[in-house]
Amino acid sequence: MLRFACPVCAREVFFDDRRCRSCGTELVFDRGTADFVPAEDRNRCANAEVIRCPWMAHHPGAFCTACQLTRRRPDPANREAVRNWAAAEQAKRHVVVELDRLGLSLQPRNETEGTGLAIDMEWSDDGSVTIGHNDGVITLDAAEADDARRERLRSRLAEPYRTMLGHLRHEIGHYWWPLLVDQASGEGGRLAEVRKLFGDERADYQDAIDAHYADGPPDGWRSRFVSAYATMHPWEDWAETFAHYLHIRDTLDTASRFGLAVRVPLLGVDKPVTASVLADDRDVEVEVLFREWGALTVAVNALNRSMDQPDLYPFALGGDVKAKLAMVHDLVLAGPVD
Ligand SMILES: [Zn+2]
Ligand SMILES: [Zn+2]
Ligand SMILES: [Zn+2]
């Protein structure tokens, strides 16, 4: 994530702030410049009070361009639902900015043209909302922003990592699949290359889900898949790998902006590895990403253990997983097909 400075006093401002903590200036976030500007004479998003959205709107009474992606929202009378929805929108704004910088800008759904993305922010108190993506529409259960509920699910499903940001990155991976992989490309196109690594996505999806929940992941999956969930079907493998690519790009970007350098002799490099890759860096070799990420995660996982917290990045990237991440990297840099 980018770092920000108050336009008035130059002190640090954080992504979800609405006013400078130092000089008190009211601020709004302008997606166009990816920076904060004084709120004076500008329009706040129509969700500014409801969910504390800090973004600028282009017209009085309008939603900001992040809130415009949300098609359905919880009942405003349900305060618990609105509180969780606000947290889900916070994660969404984070991923919107990351994707802008990666060249994968999200635009609201246009049903007539069949383009863009809509997000239905549902809320359930019994887990009855199924998170997923279907044809340009992502459904989220905003209740998963509730820590206790999400942790119960994470523990029951034996997942090492479960967050709202992770859900969004995964589902947005499904959204970008046909556009980045070029579903219409024939032999020799992007799709054929993707199938070589991820498998044939024409495999029956329901059969694959049933088999996964009946038998669990295949033996030895860790060297080939980034998560157990990714073993289920080539589409899920793609979405999981895409989500990890976004985890890596965003977290390395943050580390780079703070000038983090770590010494990890185990990797055979005794001089510090300094994080340097920014999310909008278009020329970066994937090997540089892996080297910096590998060094950084050893250090940040150790930091978390010093605070008795779970590992920040509780995953290991096997050889096949790196090949898949390298393909996502190439396709993101190549950009979506029209
Ligand atoms: Zn200030
Ligand atoms: Zn907004
Ligand atoms: Zn999925």
The number of beta carbons lying within 10 Å of the beta carbon of residue 56 is: 23
Confidence of residue 82 (pLDDT cuts 50, 70, 90): very high
Domain closes at, from 48, 63, 78: 63
Query: Is residue 297 domain-shared with residue 317, that is, in the same domain?
Result: yes
- Domain of 227? 182-338
Query: Minimum-distance ligand to the CA of 4?
Result: 1
- Which ligand is nearest to the Cα of residue 29, counting in written order? 2
Comparing CA positions, the residue from 282, 284, 275, 283 lying closest to residue 252 is 275
The answer to whether residues 207 and 294 belong to one domain is yes
Q: Are residues 188 and 218 in the same domain?
A: yes
Asked if 190 and 181 count as a contact pair (C-beta separation under 8 A), the reply is yes
169-188 pLDDT, tens digit each: 999 999 999 999 987 777 77
Among all bound ligands, the one having the nearest atom to the CA of 65 is 2
The pocket of ion ligand 2, defined by CB under 5 A, consists of 45, 47, 53, 55, 64, 67
Of 152, 181, 210, which residue sits at a domain end?
181
Ligand nearest to the CA of 67: 2
State how far Cα 39 lies from the chain centre.
28
Gap between the Cα atoms of 36 and 164, Å rounded: 24
Residues 198 and 219 placed together within one structural domain of the fold = yes
Q: Indicate if 226 and 282 belong to the same structural domain.
A: yes
Whole-number Å distance, alpha carbon 51 to ligand 1 midpoint, is 23
Question: Rounded mean pLDDT of the chain?
Answer: 95
**290 and 201 together in one domain:** yes
Rounded Cα–Cα distance for residues 304 and 48 (Å): 34
Q: Which of 122, 147, 181 is the last residue of a domain?
A: 181
What's the rounded mean pLDDT across residues 23-47?
A: 97
Instruction: Give percent of the chain with pLDDT exceeding 70.
Output: 99
Q: How confident is the model at residue 270 (pLDDT cuts 50, 70, 90)?
A: confident
Q: Is 220 found in the same domain as 333?
A: yes
pLDDT of residue 269: 64
Ligand with the closest atom to the CA of 138? 3
Tell me how far the alpha carbon of residue 290 lies from the centroid of ligand 3, in angstroms.
Answer: 24
Average pLDDT over residues 108-136: 95
Q: How confident is the model at residue 267 (pLDDT cuts 50, 70, 90)?
A: low
* CA of 135 relative to ligand 3 center, distance in Å: 13
Residues 75 and 213 in one domain: no
| Shared domain check, 98 and 57 | no
Kindly give the distance from the C-alpha atom of residue 53 to the centroid of ligand 2, in angstroms, as a whole number. 5
Say which ligand is closest to the CA of 227. Answer: 3
Say if residue 266's pLDDT is above 70: no
Centre of ligand 1 to C-alpha 4, Å, is 11
Question: Which tens digit of pLDDT belongs to each residue from 138-169?
Answer: 999 999 999 999 999 999 999 999 999 999 99
Whether residues 301 and 215 fall in one domain:
yes
82 shares a domain with 56: no
The verdict on 171 and 76 lying in the same domain is yes
pLDDT computed for residue 153 by the predictor: 93
CA distance 100 to 97: 5
Please state the domain count of the chain.
3
Spell out the residues 6+ positions from residue 258 whose beta carbon is closer than 8 angstroms to its own. Answer: 3, 275
User: How would you classify residue 41: left for phi > 0, otherwise alpha for psi between -120 and 50, otherwise beta?
Assistant: left
